């Protein structure tokens, strides 16, 4: 009997630290060997290709429940197809909370819906209402179910938490041993500017960016870090759009705080100018924080090289353009305030980062692997199962053609959305096959997985997110409030 079920032969294996010519031996869905001249029951020729760890996307909204019933248009089945087409094999999506309600029933519903997934998946728990019941009873229960990260919005109606609510979530996370991820923008400042812009008749999509300039993001990031330090609770700042915000994070990191920063492909590629396209087209590029300008995008690459921003996720948002819940839900004259925020990006994430990052010499290939797979897996407790190529890891792999030139189109994205903000963008480098736990689930753009074949990733305790044990006056307020 052959020693391995499958051998991937002749490729260039890339990890977060190394690049080497090697065969991979896969047994029972896991990597069993990295070596030379391995023999298996089946072979896959990777000559001329890179062999990368499957992408890990730790910020994507898939089939998220909507207040008043129903869910995002992107379903677990369509979202998984998009992931696999783009080389992503694991995601952490969201279970949300509606104000006045608890978090246990929505999580049960998400877990039920996600049984259609074809990628492996976990959840962050969004907290929008820091009631006693949720804080003291329910958060420990969702963490017990393997949801080891909580998500807080410091802006958005009706999602946002005020500082007291945020502190209570930080404290609850500290008690339960969970990470907190934070959407950092100043709620009152955005509302004040929005009110003024609308009063001045400035309602078009481009004013979305005017309503939320960089200082509202910087202020909220600074505040989130200070409150996290007060509680001694590790946080990740989501979707950093510019270097002023990254500088807040860098200062915290330099002081030894457990603060991590994430950004997304849209902040490297889109600008506020895209929201000024003719008619209502600009709505296709609206996300929050708002895309800034080309110099900001270039500066973000520097923050990635320095390691201030060490995870790049999609923040894939399940709003179409013309669909029933899409950007045009309130009509094409809708003021920017009433247009759903977010852009799709599950499939485009790796090709854009490879092409713009590695292809244009801004980052090396190992950094590409770290920001798209290894670092998110480590930070969110999926390591040492996901995010690397080494014996014992799941055989989640992408065979990547570094020379393949493609023009991005919505059809290539394979999501359910009716548009991509990257339509017409030229990229070099493309996934030609995706393997999930040793099985080929995408080949030449054809996804061949079964709905329901994804596995739930229950996340247990891990060291990286343990509080530092440094508290003002040595007093742990989280025990009491």
Let me know if 193 is exposed, middle or buried by CB neighbors in 10 A (0-12, 13-18, 19+).
middle
Residue from 73, 229, 315, 396 binding Zn ion (CB under 5 A) = 315
Phi, psi dihedrals of residue 116, rounded to the nearest 5° = -90, 0
Q: Binding of Zn ion at residue 212 (CB under 5 A)?
A: no
- Among 92, 104, 172, 287, indicate the residue that binds ligand DUC (CB under 6 A): 287
Binding residue (CB under 6 A) for ligand DUC from 317, 347, 374, 478: 317
d(CA 138, CA 305): 39
Nearer to ligand DUC, 155 or 478 (CB): 155
Nearer to ligand DUC, 4 or 319 (CB): 319
Within 328-357, the residues that bind ligand DUC by CB under 6 A are 341-342
Q: Which of 98, 100, 101, 106 is nearest to 63 (CA)?
A: 106
What is the closest distance, in whole angstroms, from the C-beta atom of residue 264 to ligand DUC in the complex?
Answer: 9
Q: Is the dihedral of CA 225, 228, 232, 234 positive or negative?
A: negative
- 74 near ligand DUC, judged by CB under 6 A: no
Q: Least Å distance between CB 225 and ligand DUC? A: 18
| Residue span 133-172 as binding mask against ligand DUC, x where in contact by CB under 6 A, dash where not | ----------------------------------------
Q: What CA dihedral angle connects 427, 17, 400 and 60, to 10 degrees?
A: -70
CB nearer to ligand DUC: give 25 or 326. Answer: 326
In the complex, the smallest distance separating the C-beta of residue 155 from ligand DUC, rounded to whole angstroms, is 9
| Minimum distance, C-beta of residue 326 to ligand DUC, in the bound complex (Å) | 13
The helix/strand/coil state of 342 is coil
Residue with CB nearest Zn ion?
Answer: 183
Instruction: State yes or no: cis peptide before 244, omega within 30 of 0.
Output: no
Of residues 113, 148, 183, 386, which one binds ligand DUC by CB under 6 A?
183
Residues near 424 by beta carbon (within 8 Å), at least 6 away in sequence: 407, 408, 409
**63 makes contact with Zn ion (CB under 5 A):** no
Q: What minimum distance in Å lies between the beta carbon of 296 and ligand DUC?
A: 16
Query: Which listed residue (149, 288, 347, 420) binds ligand DUC by CB under 6 A?
Result: 288
Q: What is the CA radius of gyration of the chain?
A: 22
Using DSSP, state whether 447 is helix, strand or coil. strand
Residue 238 or 419: which CB sits closer to Zn ion? Answer: 238
Are the C-beta atoms of residues 287 and 317 closer than 8 Å to each other?
A: yes
- Count the neighbouring beta carbons within 10 Å of the beta carbon of residue 210: 17
Determine the length of the chain.
Answer: 481
State the residue number with the nearest CB to ligand DUC.
342
How far apart CA 240 and CA 312 sit, in angstroms, is 10
Q: Which is nearer to ligand DUC, 34 or 246 (CB)?
A: 246
Find the shortest distance in angstroms from Cβ 343 to ligand DUC.
7
CA–chain centroid gap for 83, Å, is 12
How many residues make contact with ligand DUC (CB under 6 A)?
Answer: 8
The 8-class DSSP code of residue 17 comes to S
The binding site for Zn ion (CB under 5 A) comprises 183, 238, 315
Which residues make up the interface to ligand DUC (CB under 6 A)? Answer: 61, 183, 287-288, 315, 317, 341-342
């Amino acid at each position: 009997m052959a020693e391995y079920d499958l051998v991937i032969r002749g490729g260039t294996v890339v990890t977060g630290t190394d690049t080497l010519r090697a065969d991979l031996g896969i047994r029972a869905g896991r990597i069993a060997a990295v070596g030379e001249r391995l023999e298996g029951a089946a072979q896959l020729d990777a000559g001329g290709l890179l062999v990368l760890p499957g992408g890990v996307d730790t910020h994507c909204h898939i089939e998220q429940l909507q207040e008043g019933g129903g869910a995002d248009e992107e379903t677990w089945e369509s979202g998984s197809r998009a992931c696999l087409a783009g080389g992503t094999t694991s995601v952490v999506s969201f279970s949300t909370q509606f104000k006045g309600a608890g978090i246990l029933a929505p999580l049960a519903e998400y877990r039920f819906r996600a049984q259609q997934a074809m990628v492996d998946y976990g959840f962050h728990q969004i907290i929008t209402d820091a009631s006693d019941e949720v804080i003291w009873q329910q958060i420990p229960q969702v963490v017990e179910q393997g949801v080891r990260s909580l998500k807080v919005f410091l802006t958005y109606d009706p999602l946002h938490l005020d500082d007291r609510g945020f502190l209570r979530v930080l404290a609850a996370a500290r008690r339960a041993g969970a990470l907190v991820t934070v959407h950092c923008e100043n709620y009152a400042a955005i509302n004040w500017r929005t009110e003024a812009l609308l009063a001045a008749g400035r309602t078009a999509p481009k004013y979305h960016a005017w309503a939320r300039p960089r200082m509202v993001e910087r202020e909220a990031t600074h505040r989130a870090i200070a409150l996290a330090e007060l509680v001694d609770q590790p946080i990740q700042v989501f979707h950093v759009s510019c270097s002023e915000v990254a500088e807040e994070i860098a200062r915290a990191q330099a002081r030894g705080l457990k603060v991590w920063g994430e950004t997304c492909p849209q902040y490297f590629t889109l600008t506020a100018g895209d929201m000024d396209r003719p008619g209502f087209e600009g709505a296709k590029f609206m996300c929050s924080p708002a895309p800034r300008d080309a110099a900001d995008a270039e500066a973000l690459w520097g923050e990635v090289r320095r390691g201030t921003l060490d995870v790049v996720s999609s923040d894939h948002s399940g709003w179409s353009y013309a669909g029933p819940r899409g950007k045009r839900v309130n009509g094409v004259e809708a003021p920017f305030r009433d247009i759903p925020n977010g852009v799709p990006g599950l499939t485009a994430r790796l090709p854009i980062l490879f092409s713009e990052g590695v292809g244009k010499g801004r980052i090396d290939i190992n950094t590409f692997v770290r920001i798209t797979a290894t670092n998110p897996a480590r930070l969110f407790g999926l390591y040492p199962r996901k995010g690397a190529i080494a014996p014992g890891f799941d055989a989640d792999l992408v065979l990547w053609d570094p020379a393949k030139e493609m023009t991005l189109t919505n059809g290539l994205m394979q999501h359910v959305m009716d548009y991509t903000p990257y339509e017409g963008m030229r990229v070099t480098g493309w996934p030609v096959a995706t393997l999930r736990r040793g099985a080929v689930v995408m080949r030449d753009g054809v996804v061949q997985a079964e709905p329901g074949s994804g596995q739930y990733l229950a996340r247990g305790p891990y060291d990286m997110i343990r509080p530092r044990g440094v508290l003002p006056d040595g007093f742990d307020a989280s025990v009491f409030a």
